[in-house]
Structure 1
C-alpha cells in the first residue's frame, strides 16, 4: 500500500491538516462551505452547541450540531484554487490514516453544501432570489489537472458552449459537472430557482466586467445569457461551485450549491440588503439537511 509522503500531505505538529487546521474526528459528515470567513460564525450561530473550531488565514471552521444533526461550517475564501486545498484536505481527514499515511480501505462520503452569493445572467432571476445550481461550468481549468475528468463531465455541453461562444484557444477548456442529485432533492423547494452556474477564475474580466482593460471577447455575457443546451440556460456567475462539484465527484463525495442572487447583470441591479437573505438561506439549508 502506497505511503503518502510528508511533502505531499503536510500535517501540523498538533496533528491537524496543514491549511484547514482540522484534526481527524473534528469533522462532521454534513459540511457547509462559505466563502467569507466572517460568515462562519453566522452559520454557527444557529448551532445548538459548538464542539470544535480553529482559524488559519482565510480558513475558519466550527463543528457542532443543529437540531441533533452534526454540522461543520468552513470558510474557503475566494476561488477554485482554494477549493483544491479545501476538498483534498477534507477528503484526507476522513479517508487517509494519518498515522500510517495510507488511504483507508473503507471510504467515507461527505455531504458538502456551498452557501454563497452570486450574480444573475438572466432578467428572470431577480435580485434577492435563491438559486440551486444543478450544474456548474468551470472556466477555471482546475479539474483538467486530474485524471478522470471525461468520466464525470458533460462533454457534449462543453463542445456546444465553446462553439457557440467562439471560445478562444488561449483560454482553458471549460468543464461541466452536475450536482449530486440526492442533495439537490433534499434542498429543492418552491422558494428556490434552479439553474446552471458558471464558476469564473476572477471577478472582473472573467465575468465580463470592464473597468479599464478591454475584454478579449466583449460580448461574452450576451452570448452566455442567450446560450441554450437541451432546454437549459446558464443562469449565474460565482467563483467556487465547479471545483466543488468536480472534485467531490472524483473523490466520492456529494455536493450541491445554493446562492443568494445579489446582483442582476442583465438588469444592472444590486441587492440593498443581501445579508438578511443570506441568514434566511442558511437556516433553510440547515433545516433541509437536518431532516
Structure 2
C-alpha cells in the first residue's frame, strides 16, 4: 500500500521534504553532527566532495575519504530533529519514493555521531574521547513508537528509583549502541561511557541562570548511579534518540563524544575546537580501517 502524501512529504523535485535529498545523494556510511558548520570541518579532509545541499539546519555533503564514500549531515540540536533526520534517511534507502512503497529488501546504514559532551565523572577528563556504549533518553521521543522491545527496562527502572524521578517527567528510556561499531571505534585513545541525553542545555542539565529547577540534585544523582557496574558518564542532547531510532529502523549507530567540559570539576576545555578536530580525524581513520 502506498504511503500517503501527507505522511511522506516530498519536494517538487522528488527529494525528501526536510533534508532536500534523493537516494543517490547519500552513502551507506553517514556521519551526523549537530552544528551545520561542522559539516565542512569534516569534509575538508575528504579527497573530494561530490554533492552539497542545505535546508534549514540540515546541511549535507557527500564525498570520499581515502576512497570510501561518506555522507556528513547536520541534525541541529535535540532528539526532535533526530526524529526528522533518521526517518528521512531511512526513507531514502528503504522506501521507493516514486511509488511510495516500502522496498522488499531493506538496507542498513552505518551512522556515526561526532559531537561535544560534558562529563559528570571526575575521572573522565576534558579533552578525552568517549564512546557511548548505551544512552538514556530523558525526552519522550521513543515512547511515541512501539519500542519496548529495544529498551533496557531494567536499567531504566533502576534509574527511576535511584533518582526518585518525578512522575511529571517522561520516563527515561535506555538503548544500547551497535556492538560492532563500538568495537570498531574503540582504541587506547577512547573511554567507554553511558550517556545521558537531555531535553535542554540549561535547566535539564542542571544549569541555573535565572530560573530555579525542579531537582537541584539531579546531576549528583546521575553521577552516583551505577547499574551492573556501568555509571552514567556524560551529558549531551542526541545520542539516545539516535540509538533508539537506529535500532527500530534496522541501522547501526554509535556516538563519539569530545569531552569539552567536566561538570564535576567545573573545568572547560581551553581549546574545544582542537579536541573536536582531533576526534573528527580519529573517527574518519577508524571508519576506513
For residues 286 and 36 of structure 2, the distance between their equivalents in structure 1, rounded to whole angstroms, comes to 23
Q: Shift of the alpha carbon at 1:10?
A: 0.7
1:1-291 equivalences under 5 Å are: 2-147=1-146, 149-291=147-289
TM-score scaled by length of structure 2: 0.99
For residues 105 and 46 of structure 2, the distance between their equivalents in structure 1, rounded to whole angstroms, comes to 30
Q: Shift of the alpha carbon at 1:76?
A: 0.3
Q: Which moved more, 1:7-16 or 1:77-86?
A: 7-16
Deviations 1:116-144 (A, max 9, x none): 00011001111111100000000011000
For residues 123 and 207 of structure 1, the distance between their equivalents in structure 2, rounded to whole angstroms, comes to 17
For residues 132 and 64 of structure 1, the distance between their equivalents in structure 2, rounded to whole angstroms, comes to 25
Q: Shift of the alpha carbon at 1:258?
A: 0.5
Q: Shift of the alpha carbon at 1:32?
A: 0.4
Deviations 1:48-102 (A, max 9, x none): 1111110111000000011111100000000000000000000000000011100
For residues 14 and 85 of structure 2, the distance between their equivalents in structure 1, rounded to whole angstroms, comes to 17
TM-score scaled by length of structure 1: 0.98
Structure 1 unaligned spans of 5+:
none
Q: Pairwise CA RMSD of aligned residues? A: 0.6
Q: Shift of the alpha carbon at 1:214?
A: 1.4
Structure 1 runs, 4 residues or longer, greater than 6 Å off: none
Q: Shift of the alpha carbon at 1:213?
A: 1.5
Q: Shift of the alpha carbon at 1:192?
A: 0.5
For residues 11 and 50 of structure 2, the distance between their equivalents in structure 1, rounded to whole angstroms, comes to 20
Aligned residues: 289
Deviations 1:250-280 (A, max 9, x none): 0000000011011100000111111111111
Q: Shift of the alpha carbon at 1:150?
A: 1.4
Q: Secondary structure at the match of 1:93?
A: helix
For residues 88 and 269 of structure 1, the distance between their equivalents in structure 2, rounded to whole angstroms, comes to 37
For residues 67 and 49 of structure 2, the distance between their equivalents in structure 1, rounded to whole angstroms, comes to 12
For residues 93 and 140 of structure 2, the distance between their equivalents in structure 1, rounded to whole angstroms, comes to 26
Q: Shift of the alpha carbon at 1:165?
A: 0.2
Structure 2 unaligned spans of 5+:
none
Q: Shift of the alpha carbon at 1:283?
A: 1.1
